[in-house]
Amino acid sequence: MSATRYTYLGPAGTFTEAALRTLPEAATRELVPLASVPAALDAVRAGEASGAFVPVENSVEGAVTATSDELAAGKPLMIYREVLLPIAFALLVRPGTTLDDIKTVTSHPVAQPQVRRWIAANLPDARWESAASNADGARLVQEGRFDGAFAGEFAAPLYGLEPLVSDIHDAENATTRFVLVGRPGRVSSPTGADKTSMVVWLRDDHPGALLELLQEFAVRGVNLMRIESRPTGEGIGNYCFLIDCEGHLSERRVSDALMGLKRICPQVRFLGSYPRADEGKPTPRRPGTSDEDFSAAADWLSRCLDGRGEL
CA distance 128 to 297: 60
pLDDT (tens digit per residue) in 168-193? 988 888 899 999 999 999 999 999 99
**What is the SS3 assignment for 236?**
coil
Q: Any residues with CB less than 8 A from the CB of 250 and at least 6 apart, and which?
A: 187, 189, 190, 273
Q: How far apart are CA 60 and CA 174, in angstroms?
A: 6
Q: What is the pTM of this model?
A: 0.88
Query: What average pLDDT score do residues 152-158 get?
Result: 94
Is a pLDDT exceeding 70 seen at residue 2?
Answer: no
- pLDDT tens, 156-165? 999 999 999 9
Q: Is the pLDDT at 71 greater than 90, yes or no? A: yes
On whether the CB atoms of residues 107 and 55 are closer than 8 A, the answer is: no
To the question of domain 186-310 being in CATH 3.30.70.260, the answer is yes
Q: Is residue 170 a contact partner of residue 112, using CB atoms and an 8 Å limit?
A: no
Whether the predicted pLDDT of 206 surpasses 90: no
Helix (H, G, I), strand (E, B) or coil at 224: strand
* pLDDT at res. 10: 86
Dihedral sign computed on CA atoms, order 111, 114, 116, 121? negative
Query: In one letter, which amino acid is 120?
Result: A
pLDDT confidence tier of residue 308, bands split at 50, 70 and 90: confident
- pLDDT at residue 100 is higher than 60: yes
Query: Angle at the Cα of 31 (from 29 to 37), degrees rounded to 5?
Result: 130
234: closest CA among 190, 201, 281? 201
Mean pLDDT, residues 128-154 taken together? 94
For the chain, what is the mean pLDDT? 92
CB distance 270 to 249 below 8 Å: yes
Q: List the CATH code of the domain at 1-87+174-185.
A: 3.40.190.10
* 1-87+174-185 against 91-168: fold identical: yes
Q: What percent of the chain has pLDDT over 90?
A: 72
What is the mean pLDDT of the segment spanning 85-89?
93
Does residue 247 register a pLDDT over 70?
A: yes
Return the ∠ at Cα 127 (arms to 122 and 129), rounded to 5°.
Answer: 120
pLDDT at 52 exceeding the cut of 70: yes
**Homologous superfamily, domain 91-168:** Periplasmic binding protein-like II (3.40.190.10)
- The percentage of residues in the chain with a pLDDT greater than 70, rounded to a whole number, is 99
pLDDT of amino acid 116:
92
The secondary structure of 79-99 as a DSSP string is EEEEEEEE--EEEEE-TT--G
Q: Stretch 45-66: mean pLDDT, rounded?
A: 93
Whether residue 235 has pLDDT greater than 80: no
User: How much is the pLDDT for 76?
Assistant: 96
Question: 311: pLDDT confidence band, cut at 50, 70 and 90?
Answer: low
What residue spans define the domains of the chain?
1-87+174-185, 91-168, 186-310
218-230 pLDDT tens trace? 999 999 999 999 9
Q: What is the largest CA-CA distance in the chain?
A: 87
User: Is the pLDDT assigned to residue 1 strictly greater than 80?
Assistant: no
Q: How far apart are CA 119 and CA 121, in angstroms?
A: 5
**Whole-number Å distance between alpha carbons of 38 and 149:** 24
Strands 267-275, 194-201: pairing kind = antiparallel
